[in-house]
């Protein structure tokens, strides 16, 4: 739902808090060395050598820029004033992606179960003079009714969705041998079903308006490509393998439908967000240690990959981008 003035009650802050057309021939950037180099430039972090980053982001830590951002602007002109939906936009990767798109002049509907952080980010973007607009929307992605209501509201007020970025995801520390069924359901409902419902509704929105150059981007994980020996992440990994299969299946169905709407999967490795603190909510020291042993990617690195994908020519199909952090901290 669009938050009312009473619900918002948020003073504009300087920085958002962190929660947590053409040929269908595939140019798979995940397997292309040139594209991978453009997306994951492995170099030490300019901010803190103990934390690190896979992509150097100049200027403020909230700014998506650098050589990739500059190159992307020309290709992003066709998206100006069009509408993108970003799920899970209240923090981390989702907030960084929403900001990057607003910087490029898009109208962005950012949804999450709580929208306070998105409202702060919207105020920040407006204060910074970015050409686009961030529109907070309260939506529980575990509820199909909420999702359908959101798409209906977008249709009635903004015509429809041109870009759908399925970013929302969650993990529960529920193992395969002793995990709770409720924890498994939580992960499946958001990571798989919500993504699929948003994808279906976004495609239908594009189809009914004869939008033939739309883009659906699934923010996946390297856990959707390999299973690590950590029992509490095994069910989560299964949901991410599902995202890998769903994205390829979507690409095939779009080709069969003879549409030029594109589908892309972006699979980052460890990204420094609140994710580990939510997974290890009862052990903050263990959560903090997760980010101390590896030079992590930053949310802005993933946002740069999104801008890169969207800026490519309409006839270019980027199937999968895999992003890995740099070497371990000694």
List active site positions. 236
CA dihedral 308, 112, 297, 57 (to 10 degrees): 60
- For strands 107-112 and 133-138, give the pairing: parallel
Tokens found for residue 312: 């490519």
Number of Cβ within 10 Å of residue 145's Cβ equals 8
Cα separation, 193 vs 118, whole angstroms:
23
Cα separation, 306 vs 244, whole angstroms:
17
Q: Answer for the pair 173, 56: CB distance below 8 angstroms, yes or no.
A: no
Beta pairing partners, 216:
164, 263
Query: Measuring CA to CA, which residue among 291, 242, 308, 317 is closest to residue 48?
Result: 291
CA dihedral 61, 63, 67, 73 (to 10 degrees): 170
- Mapping DSSP to helix (H, G, I), strand (E, B) and coil, where does residue 65 land? coil
Instruction: Evaluate the CA torsion angle 275, 280, 282, 286 in order and state its sign.
Output: negative
């Amino acid at each position: 739902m669009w938050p009312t003035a009473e619900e918002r009650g948020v003073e504009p802050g300087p920085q958002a808090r962190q929660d947590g057309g053409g040929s269908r021939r595939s140019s798979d950037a995940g397997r292309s060395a040139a594209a991978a180099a453009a997306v994951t430039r492995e170099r030490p972090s300019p901010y803190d050598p103990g934390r690190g980053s896979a992509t150097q982001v100049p200027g403020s830590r909230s700014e998506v820029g650098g050589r990739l951002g500059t190159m992307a602007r020309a290709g992003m002109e066709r998206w100006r004033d069009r509408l993108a939906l970003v799920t899970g936009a209240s923090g981390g990767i989702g907030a960084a992606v929403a900001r990057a798109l607003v910087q490029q002049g898009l109208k962005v509907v950012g949804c999450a179960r709580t929208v306070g952080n998105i409202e702060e980010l919207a105020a920040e973007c407006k204060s910074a003079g970015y050409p686009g607009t961030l529109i907070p929307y309260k939506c529980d992605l575990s509820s199909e009714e909420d999702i359908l209501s959101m798409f209906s509201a977008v249709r009635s007020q903004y015509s429809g969705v041109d870009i759908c970025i399925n970013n929302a995801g969650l993990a529960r520390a529920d193992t395969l041998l002793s995990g709770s069924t409720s924890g498994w359901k939580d992960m499946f409902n958001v990571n798989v079903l919500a993504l699929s419902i948003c994808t279906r509704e976004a495609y239908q929105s594009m189809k009914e308006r004869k939008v033939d150059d739309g883009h659906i981007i699934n923010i996946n994980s390297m856990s959707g490509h390999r299973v690590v020996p950590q029992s509490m992440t095994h069910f989560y990994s299964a949901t991410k393998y599902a995202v890998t299969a769903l994205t390829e299946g979507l690409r095939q169905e779009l080709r069969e439908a003879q549409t030029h709407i594109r589908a892309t999967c972006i699979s980052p490795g460890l990204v420094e967000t609140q994710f580990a603190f939510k997974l290890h909510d009862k052990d903050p020291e263990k959560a903090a240690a997760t980010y101390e042993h590896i030079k992590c990617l930053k949310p802005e690195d993933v946002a740069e990959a999104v801008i890169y994908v969207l800026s490519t020519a309409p006839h270019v199909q980027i199937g999968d981008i895999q992003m890995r952090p740099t070497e371990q901290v000694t």
